[in-house]
């Protein structure tokens, strides 16, 4: 439900980006294994119905999120749980290749813009040392084009303001006329 509302509000942004934002935000809010598994399911489900990304790109996204989460929960996870996390397309991947996955995304910037944005978010909120991530963050920032948002033209607000100004103008004129007339009202002693 939360996802749908967020998607509606951010409907002028790519849907995948918004979902990526949502799952990262939700994880940062509640950093638990169960929440992480649920978010992985949500991500996998979304990717399953995505027909624009290639299989490799999908796998990269899946791996990036899993390894990023794994780094955050590393101390708390059991081996079994870690194995369950890294099961991607029925193949258990090895953890620790987060930076390589980022490099994969950077390799073809034109096609991997989505991956890079996802990677950048993960890097900014990574559990890795800032010294390790800084160079990658800078590189990704340079490759990514800035998202823009068209200013909200509140035509309705402008109309309301205009209407109010007209009413006030009308009333002030009438009030002045009224005061002027009060000075004029006299019945001559005919």
Partner 1 sequence: MIILIPLFCTLLLLLLKLQVLPIPIIAILSIISILAALSLIGYYSIIAYKHPLQKRISKILSDYEKKHEICQRYQIILNLSGHPITMHTPQEGFNVRFQGCTINGFISTGIFYLVVAHPTHHLSSIANLWSEIGKCHTKFHDMCLAIHPDQVDTLNETLSQEWLFIQQLLHTAPSVSLLINDEQLSQSIYYVKEYGTLPKPITITPYGNLITVLQQANDQLNQWIRQLYIQRHDLCIYPPINDKQKTHLFQLSHSFEKQKTNLLNIIAFSTEAKIPLHSICFGRNEFILPKQNILHKYKQPSVAVLLTALTFGVYGSFVVIKSQVNTTLSLNHGSVLAQQLYTLSRYPQYKHIQAKHLRRLKSSYLDNNPNQATYQYLFSTHKKSDPLLKHDIVNHLTEGNLNKQLVEFLSRHWFKKGRTSKPILSELAPIISEYHIPEVCKILEPTQINNCIQSLSRIKTYQIHDQALKNLEQTLIPLDINNYEHTLRQLNYLIQNPKHIGQGALRQLEDIISKLSLEGHTTLVNKAKDIQSIIYLLQSSNGQYILHKIKDLHVLNHETDSDEDALSLLQKAYMTDRHPLRELEYIQNNLAKYQAKWLKDMTDPMIHNIAQKANGFLKEIWNGHIYPELNNHPISNTDISPNEMHYTFSLIQTYFDRYIRMFVQEEEGDIVVKPYKLGIHIPENILTSYIYTKVVASGLDIKEDHFHAVWAVSLKEMPHPIESIYLHGANKKQPLTLHKGTVLHWDSRYPVGFDVVLQNGETISIIQNNNWSVLQLFSQFNESKPLCYQYKSENQSWGFSIEVKPQYPINLLNVDLIQNIPFSAWQ
Which CB, 49 or 188, lies closer to partner 1?
A: 188
Neighbours of 134 (CB within 10 A): 11
Which CB, 56 or 132, lies closer to partner 1?
A: 132
Nearest approach in angstroms of CB 94 to partner 1 is 27
Give the residues lining the site for partner 1 (CB under 8 A): 2, 5-6, 9-10, 12-13, 18, 21-22, 24-25, 28-29, 120-121, 124-125, 137, 141, 147-149, 152, 154, 156-157, 160, 164, 167-168, 171, 174-175, 177-179, 181-182, 184-190
CB 58 within 8 A of CB 112: no
What are the tokens at 149? 């948002």
Distance of alpha carbon 15 from alpha carbon 181, whole angstroms: 65
Which CB, 5 or 48, lies closer to partner 1?
A: 5
Indicate the burial class of 52 (C-beta count within 10 angstroms; 0-12, 13-18, 19 or more): exposed
Nearest approach in angstroms of CB 27 to partner 1 is 10
Which CB, 2 or 90, lies closer to partner 1?
A: 2
Distance of alpha carbon 42 from alpha carbon 36, whole angstroms: 10
SS3 of 91, please? strand
């Amino acid at each position: 439900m939360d996802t749908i509302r967020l998607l509606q509000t951010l409907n002028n942004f790519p849907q995948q980006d918004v979902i990526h934002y949502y799952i990262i935000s939700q994880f940062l809010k509640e950093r638990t294994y169960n929440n992480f598994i649920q978010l992985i399911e949500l991500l996998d489900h979304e990717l399953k119905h995505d027909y624009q990304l290639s299989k490799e790109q999908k796998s990269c996204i899946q791996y990036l999120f899993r390894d990023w989460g794994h780094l955050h929960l590393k101390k708390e996870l059991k081996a079994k749980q870690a194995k369950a996390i890294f099961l991607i397309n029925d193949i258990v991947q090895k953890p620790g290749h987060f930076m390589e996955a980022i490099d994969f995304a950077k390799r073809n910037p034109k096609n991997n813009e989505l991956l890079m944005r996802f990677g950048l978010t993960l890097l900014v909120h990574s559990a890795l040392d800032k010294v390790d991530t800084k160079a990658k963050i800078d590189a990704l920032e340079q490759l990514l084009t800035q998202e823009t948002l068209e200013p909200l033209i509140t035509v309705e607000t402008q109309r309301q303001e205009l209407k109010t100004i007209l009413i006030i103008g009308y009333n002030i004129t009438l009030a002045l006329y009224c005061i002027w007339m009060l000075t004029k009202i006299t019945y001559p002693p005919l």
